[in-house]
Amino acid sequence: MQSKIENAKDILRDAGYYVDNLWHINDIINGFNCADDVEAYRTLDKVMTSEQTSVDIFEQIGLIVKAK
């Protein structure tokens, strides 16, 4: 039986979203000793919505598309 998470990812993937590399708050808590779920989520939010992250992603997309 497929988990709710995998089902949700399938729905988003079918709608055109990339969901094959997702981060979880536990990645932050375990890897960086965050105090709690709230701090870990806020950390992820800052990273994922940062201008630098957007620039890096679009730059890499451009490089890969041009390399074809």
Distance CA 45, CA 43 (A): 5
Instruction: Encode pLDDT of 32-49 as tens digits.
Output: 988 899 999 999 999 999
Alpha carbons within 13 A on the beta-carbon side of 40? 15
Its sign, for the CA torsion 25, 36, 2, 13, is: negative
Q: Can you give the pLDDT at residue 68?
A: 84
Indicate if the pLDDT at residue 1 is higher than 90.
Answer: no
Please compute the mean of the pLDDT values over residues 12-20 and round it to a whole number: 98
Task: Say if CB 42 and CB 25 are below 8 A apart.
Answer: no
